Amino acid sequence: MNQPVNLPSSAGKKMPAQAAFMALLRRVHFYIGLFVGPFIFVAALTGTLYVLTPQLENYLYAGALFTASKGEAQPLSRQIDAALQVAGQDKKIYAVRPAPSAGETTRVMFSDPQLGASKSRAIFIDPITLAVKGDMTVYGTSGILPFRTWLDDLHRGLLLGDTGRIYSELAASWLWVAASGGVVLWFSGRRKPRPLRKVSGKVQQQQNSRRWHSSLGLVLLAGLLFFSATGLTWSQWAGDNIGVLRAHMGWMTPGVKTSLDPQTVAGPVSEHAGHQAPMADMPDMPGMNMSAHSMPAASPAAVVSAQTFDAVVQAAREAGIAANKIEIRPAYNTGKAWTVTEVDRSWPTQVDAVSVNPRSLQIVDHVRFADFPLLAKLTRWGVDAHMGILFGIWNQAILVIFGAGLCVMIAWGYRLWWLRRSVNSTDSHPATTLLQTWRSVPFRLQCPILVITIGLAISLPVMGASLLIFLLIDVIRWQRRNSSRNVSEF
């Protein structure tokens, strides 16, 4: 974080183009660090805590997740019946995740509108003894349990719901600007010749802080850009705009068709489904050649039996669903197919999906990850890497290093600001404002900068709103310091 360099009283005069641009960039970088830095720090700290917890979650909920029973597993239908005896026969099964390996339990998840979006009640069943091992709320496609859900809510929105998500979008919107701008400032500053002279202790501390701050920024640059880009896809407003762009460019992740009507097509899905996505999974849509008047009427309700799960899973396995970690979702109307989806998002990624007609057991649709568009694959990998699950323990270690490094870098930035503030405390000139530095930029640079700024403000609305706040604070501070100076001179 760089303390702004004061311009002379003739700040309105045009400076050399490079010097004026660097002065503007320095001021923007300083404001990001001063006002957005705390939000980036909180996001980095809570995100680091989140990726550290999978092993802790296994320890905290070992009784529900694991079993020491030995023997042959019971049919999945009997495991589901055991869960229904606890939840109630009238409860709707949202999804079932069979035990992926020996020693683990089966999850039978029930819909409960009172739990909120992407959450369900899970009954954990011992697949051998049919004993109930646990009963708790699970969240999202990743199936995280209460402790990690709390950390996820803290990281995403400070436990304030959608209102709190503004903070994380603010952090993600400005992080890439701060990181790339800092590199430009470092590269520009390192080329300046520095006279050899003895400096005071405070100046030496200031130089050391700047060196540590800049060095960490350079080392962490790739990770900072990655966190910013993937974090924006989760955000409310910027995430919606990204979704619209991807849909327009045909970069959406293909979804499996669940409608039994041959004239419908599958809609795309969100990689964040079940993780507070900015865009919910899209349903099957009527064929483009159908008019609104020819759309089929809603199908009657269907009865879901536990025995059907056995047959649907067998049909999916025969169709090529080979991952140990799968999720079965039943359909509660006769016009819809059941889905069986691979949910192993580690490497190699296994997220193939099939839809199965529950009556004929015919495969309705089959979506393979190998056939995804390249951008959809990259998005899938980016989301999973951001969550720390793509490469297992190595992914966690890398995220912890980057998260901790970002926190330290911000701390060094604040130390640099404080030291420079104390060194420049006797300066008679008030701080330079953004408007002053902007006026010093040549017109030929003002135009492209303005166009880019407006485009970013529209695409990243939280960035645009916060920029206006920066300007307002800057002007108010300038006026107050000018008034104080005039009074003292009088």
pLDDT of residue 294: 44
Beta bridge partners of 120: 138
172 CB-near residues (< 8 Å, 6+ apart):
43, 227, 228, 231, 232, 234, 235, 238
Same domain, 403 and 485: yes
The reply to whether 281 falls in a domain is no
The reply to whether 49 falls in a domain is no
Same domain, 87 and 231: no
| Total number of domains in the chain | 3
Same domain, 137 and 164: no
The reply to whether 283 falls in a domain is no
The reply to whether 243 falls in a domain is no
| CATH code: domain of residue 139 | 3.10.450
Phi, psi of 93 (to 5 degrees): -80, 120
Q: Alpha-carbon distance 43 to 23, whole Å?
A: 28
Sheet holding 326-329, edge to edge: 132-139, 119-125, 106-110, 93-97, 326-329, 338-342, 353-356, 363-367
Instruction: State the amino acid at position 168 in one-letter form.
Output: S
Same domain, 137 and 163: no
Beta bridge partners of 485: none
Tell which residue, 117, 118, 98, has the closest CA to residue 108.
98
Residue appearing with tokens 């950390």: 151
Q: What is the pLDDT tens value at each position of the chain, 490 positions in all? A: 554 444 444 444 556 888 889 999 999 999 999 999 999 999 999 999 999 999 999 999 999 999 999 999 999 999 999 999 999 999 999 999 999 999 999 999 999 988 887 899 999 999 999 999 999 999 977 789 999 999 999 999 999 988 999 999 999 999 999 999 999 999 887 655 555 556 566 677 777 778 888 889 999 999 999 999 999 988 889 988 888 888 887 778 889 999 998 877 666 776 665 454 333 344 454 453 434 344 455 678 888 999 999 999 999 999 999 999 999 999 999 999 999 999 999 999 999 999 999 999 999 999 999 999 898 999 899 999 999 999 999 999 999 999 999 999 999 999 888 887 766 554 444 456 788 888 889 999 999 999 999 999 999 999 999 999 988 988 887 777 667 655 554 4
Q: Alpha-carbon distance 267 to 256, whole Å?
A: 8
Q: Alpha-carbon distance 341 to 417, whole Å?
A: 51
Same domain, 313 and 343: yes
Same domain, 180 and 311: no
Same domain, 163 and 137: no
> Domain limits at 346?
254-259+301-319+327-371
Instruction: State the amino acid at position 361 in one-letter form.
Output: L
pLDDT of residue 428: 40
Same domain, 127 and 186: no
Instruction: State the amino acid at position 447 in one-letter form.
Output: C
Instruction: State the amino acid at position 423 in one-letter form.
Output: V
Beta bridge partners of 66: 104
Q: How far is CA 360 from CA 307, 311, 332, in A?
A: 14, 10, 16
DSSP H helical segments within 2-88, as ranges?
Answer: 17-31, 37-51, 54-60, 62-65, 76-87
The reply to whether 134 falls in a domain is yes
Q: Alpha-carbon distance 358 to 343, whole Å?
A: 21
Same domain, 132 and 210: no
Contact 217, 179 (CB under 8 A): yes
Contact 338, 355 (CB under 8 A): yes
Same domain, 83 and 227: no
The reply to whether 10 falls in a domain is no
Cα four-point dihedral sign 212, 218, 219, 224: positive
The reply to whether 210 falls in a domain is yes
Same domain, 37 and 174: yes
The reply to whether 342 falls in a domain is yes
Neighbours of 123 (CB within 10 A): 26
